[in-house]
Every structure is written in structure tokens, then in C-alpha cells.
Structure 1
Amino acid sequence: MKVLLTGATGYIGSAVTEHLTAAGHQVVALTRNSEPQPARGWHAQLVGDTSDPASLAGAVTPDIEAVIHLAPPSGDAEVDTAVIEALATPLRGTGRPFVYTSGVWVLGATGAAQEVGEEAPTNPIDIVGYRPLIERRVLDEAAEGVRAVVVRPGIVYGRGGGIPAILVDRARTQGAPEYYGEEGVRWPTVHVDDLSELFLAAVERAEAGSVWHGVGESAVPVREIARAAGRVAGVAGDPKAVPAAQVAEVFGPLFADALALDQSVSGAAARTALDWKPNRPGAVAELESGSY
């Protein structure tokens, strides 16, 4: 398939590009400027900016057989809705896939429930407050003949990037590993290459109107991630809890709330229905012996 990919230059987009091309697909990257980037292995490059929906007019040409929307949200619900409209409308009536990237933060804190699935109601924290509305807008395209799919990644790690890299940097600069929120906070996690394979499975065979959790490990104690980050940074000792007010000063209140969010989320549905097989090292193992 010829796949239009937004966010193609990003952390996840770079990995998704590699997995799509390895599977024989052609990636048409949507980028903010026309500067060529031949090393990325794209089939073609288009100029457009997802913060400016008008710039996307004509991006989904008749030869585009799928769209994967990986670019981060703008922070404006009207803008993001207009982006969905611009990218999905040309696919109507074709049965071609439109895969939208959301995230497990739309579920909010999962509390005592263990490994909540895709059927769980959304209860988004403020940083993703309107994201469920965008998910719904995407899924509504299924009634218009688009194979509309939503993927909700967990905390992404691997290749030296993602939020765990922040913990490594903080441990190095603060001289001690640290975590945020209560001692028992857990993160659902996924290796960036495993996640890329889920996007590949979604674009190839996920059903219209479906939602999938991209989660390899359902609930990793953040203290253990922080401890491993400290070892990577060459800092010994037990991780220290950082007070909420201090976290907000460093990261801003919205991201601080996300870092302190306790969740246990299942990725089992994609394993069963899409034959997704996440098999990379877990988050702690990757930190200790992998790319960081």
C-alpha cells in the first residue's frame, strides 16, 4: 500500500516508517517543509502542517491507499477535528484505512481494576481532555465507508527515547533517580518497535470502527523504571518521590498529572484479533541493557 504518514519525522513515526517499508509498503511522509530527507527511506514527501488544516487539502490523492495519523494533537479541538475531516474525507466510500493515534491516558486512572480493556469507558486526564471526542470523530468515519481505526499506545520506550529517557536525564542532572506521584504508580508500556508492528497490523487488517490498546506490559511500577533509569545515569540509591507541586514546576501541571497517573491496561485484544506479538525487552530490561 501507499501510506500517507503524518508525524513521519518523529520518534514513533521514524520507527513506523521502517516497519512499513520492511513490509513492502510505500511511505508518503507529510512534513512541514520541503527539505529532502533521503536517509529516511520515504517513497515520497508532501508538505503540510497538521496545525493548519487548510494546508492538508489535496494531501490524500487517489493513489493514497491508507492514512496513518501520528502527528501530535494541536491542543485545539476544532483544529484537530478539521485535520480529521481533511484527511478522512477523500477516503470515504473506498474502504481504505485511516488509523488515528490516541493514547491510554484517555482512560484516566484505572484504580483497583486490573488490565482494563478497550471496552472501558474513557475518563481523560486534562492533558488529553478532548481526545475521546476526536476518537469518536474518527470512528464515525466507519459509517462513511472508511476503515477507521484508533490505536492507543501506552508509555512508549526503546531506541533511547520516550518518557523513560526523561527519567534518565533527570536522574543524571538531579544526582538521584526520581518518580512522580504515589509510590505504587504503574505505567502501561510498549516498545516503539512493538508499537510500530501494531500500526502495521492495524493498517493491514484491523476492522472498521475498532479501537486497540498498544500495550506490551500492562502495569510496570514506575519506581522500578526510575531505579533502572538511575543505574543508566550512573546514580545509585533508591528512587525518591517528587512532590506534586515540584513536579508541576518542572514539567507543567498537565504533564505532571500524566506522569503521576496510575494505570493497568491490557493489550490482549490486539494479540488475539490482530495476531500482534510484542516481544521486545520490557521497559526495565530495555533501560538496563538496551538503547539508553
Structure 2
Amino acid sequence: MSERLLHLGHEVVALVRPEAAEVVGAYEGRIGDLLDPRTLTAAVTPDIDAVIDVATPLGDQAADAAAIAALTAPLVGTGRGFVYTSGVWVLGATEDRTADEQSPVDAIEIVRYRPAIERQVLALADEAVRATVIRPGLIYGHGGGIPALLVDLARKFGAPRIVGDLGVRWPMVYIEDLAELYVRVVTNASAGTLWHGVAHPAVAVKDLAAAAGAVAGVTTEPVVWPVTEAADELGAPFAAALALDQSVSGAAARDQLGWRPDGPNPIVEMLDGSYR
């Protein structure tokens, strides 16, 4: 995302913890700590036109809410932009429907308070902040993300593993396509809007697991891993998230922002791309 913004002529300022201050590369670095709201407010100086929040949540609702308030306090009344990163897990299981941005939320445990933070962000539109929310699907590409975990699990257990059920589906997005969506949202989206960053609405996890097995050199068929057993290895909240069956649409960003995700299919990327 930063590279794309730079390519378009924008200046990028990285907000980093003190221990990372020397590794910001080509970007200007400013010190900020989510646990110290004063540092966040101080970093958002008048020359900052927009703030993009891609930080990992702290796991504490009050602390995360305080961090959002601190980051956005200098933006109030200015019309400057703020993009908050949420995720599709707030929608819960979608069953036989495909969820869009108007669908009700039913957040699972691992993101239980995230909808409240989304509401906090979107309410800033009433305070003259161009506040927006992006809910990415499960991210793949560059050899990382949850697909890499599937490869590791297949290698460790000698068989590809699917948490919960053979029918589980995941909404997914290629990392470079998601970066492009952030650029479009931060530059063009209206205040108070919510966007699903999903290029592939419902990818069969059994196909992903089979691909992960091939990458790991495991030839057996994917096996179901009961959530209770997966919880012992991965933790109960994360295991439940991996067992979540979802179909999620990202059509609004295509229709309204001109987003055109064109990255490789996730199965192809696993078999022939960066996971090799």
C-alpha cells in the first residue's frame, strides 16, 4: 500500500513503535504507541492529510477505542481522512446468503468488540472527519497469511487440515489487490462509508488445504480437524474463526470505487506462486 501511494505521488509517514524507528525504510517515521494515546495524537500533525489504521488490535476494547480517539482527535472538523481496518469475521457465519456491507453483524469471539469500534469510526463523519472502514477478507499472497499456516499444519501433521467442516468457505483477497483498495478508499471514498475488501467471495477451504498439502509435499486427502482439537493447538478463538463458513461480496467497491482486483486465484497462488 505504501509503495502504491508513493507511486501516485503521495508522501507516506510511518507510525512506528520506538524499537522500530530505525527500520522505516524510505518513509518518514514517527513514534507512536497504541498504549500511549498522547503519542498518537502528537503524530497526526496538520501536514497529515489522512490516517490509515492497519494496526493489530490490542484485544482490549477500552484501549483500542482510546487509540482511535487519539488518532482522530486532530482530524475532527478538518475533513481529513481516516481509514480503519476491521475484517469480515464481524459478520459471523453467513449460511446460505452472501453478505454485503448492509448485512447485520454477528461477531465471533476473536473480534467480539470490533463492531463497536467500527461504529465509533463511522460516527466521526458527523464531526467532519472523512472516516471510512475496510473489512478485508482473508489475505493471501507474498507467502504469508493464513494460507501459510495451512502449509505449516499439513507439514506438521502429515495431512492437510480443515478446521470444523469440509464445507467451510473463506472470503479472500490478494494482498496487492487489497493495497489498491486502500488507495482508492483513502483518496476517493465518502465519509461514513464501509467497504468489503473481498475479491473471492467464498473459496472452498478443502481446496486450499489440498493445495497446502501439495506445497508441503503431503499427498493424503484433507482431513477434518474438530474445533475442540484445533483449539488445543491454535487457541479456541482462532480455531473458531478458521471454522467460520462465509460468503461475502466485495461488489460495492468495484461498482462505486472502480476497484478491479486482478491478482492470482488463491489456489493458483498457493500451488504455483509465493507459497512454493
Aligned counterparts of 1:163 and 1:52: Cα–Cα separation in 2: 30
Contact 2:21 2:29 in 1 (8 A): no
Aligned counterparts of 2:146 and 2:251: Cα–Cα separation in 1: 23
1:162 aligns to 2:148 (yes or no): no
Aligned counterparts of 1:291 and 1:213: Cα–Cα separation in 2: 24
Aligned to 2:166: 183
Partner of 1:179, secondary structure, is strand
1:95 aligns to 2:73 (yes or no): no
What one-letter code is carried by the residue in structure 1 that aligns with 2:75?
L
Q: CA deviation at 1:57?
A: 3.0
Aligned counterparts of 1:218 and 1:57: Cα–Cα separation in 2: 37
Aligned to 1:118: 101
1:8-157 map, 5 Å: 16-33=1-18, 35-37=21-23, 40-42=25-27, 44-113=28-97, 115-157=98-140
What one-letter code is carried by the residue in structure 1 that aligns with 2:230?
V
Q: 1:278 aligns with which of 243, 261, 275?
A: 261
Q: Please give the per-residue CA displacement for 1:92-136, whole angstroms capped at 9, x wherever unaligned.
A: 1211110000000000000111x2110001100010000000000
Identity across the alignment (%):
54
What one-letter code is carried by the residue in structure 1 that aligns with 2:21?
E
1:239 aligns to 2:222 (yes or no): yes
Contact 2:41 2:74 in 1 (8 A): no
Q: 1:289 aligns with which of 254, 272, 275?
A: 272
Aligned counterparts of 1:199 and 1:107: Cα–Cα separation in 2: 20
Question: What 5-or-longer segments of structure 1 have no aligned partner?
Answer: 1-15
What one-letter code is carried by the residue in structure 1 that aligns with 2:226?
P
Aligned counterparts of 1:160 and 1:273: Cα–Cα separation in 2: 30
Aligned counterparts of 1:52 and 1:107: Cα–Cα separation in 2: 30
Runs of 4+ in structure 1 off by over 6 angstroms are none
Partner of 2:42, secondary structure, is coil
Normalised to the residue count of structure 1, the TM-score between the two structures is 0.92
Partner of 2:262, secondary structure, is coil
Aligned to 2:182: 199
Aligned counterparts of 1:93 and 1:57: Cα–Cα separation in 2: 15
Partner of 2:35, secondary structure, is coil
Aligned to 1:6: none
Contact 2:41 2:72 in 1 (8 A): no
Partner of 1:110, secondary structure, is coil
Partner of 2:43, secondary structure, is coil
Q: Please give the per-residue CA displacement for 1:167-192, whole angstroms capped at 9, x wherever unaligned.
A: 01111111111111111000000001
- The number of aligned residues is 274
Contact 1:148 1:209 in 2 (8 A): yes
What one-letter code is carried by the residue in structure 1 that aligns with 2:223?
K
1:226 aligns to 2:212 (yes or no): no
Contact 1:52 1:79 in 2 (8 A): no
Question: What 5-or-longer segments of structure 2 have no aligned partner?
Answer: none
Q: Please give the per-residue CA displacement for 1:33-83, whole angstroms capped at 9, x wherever unaligned.
A: 153225x321x1011111332332311000001000000111111111111
Partner of 1:116, secondary structure, is coil
What one-letter code is carried by the residue in structure 2 that aligns with 1:36?
E
Q: Name the Cα RMSD after superposition.
A: 1.0
What one-letter code is carried by the residue in structure 1 that aligns with 2:23?
Q
Aligned counterparts of 2:52 and 2:42: Cα–Cα separation in 1: 16
Contact 2:169 2:244 in 1 (8 A): yes
1:263 aligns to 2:246 (yes or no): yes
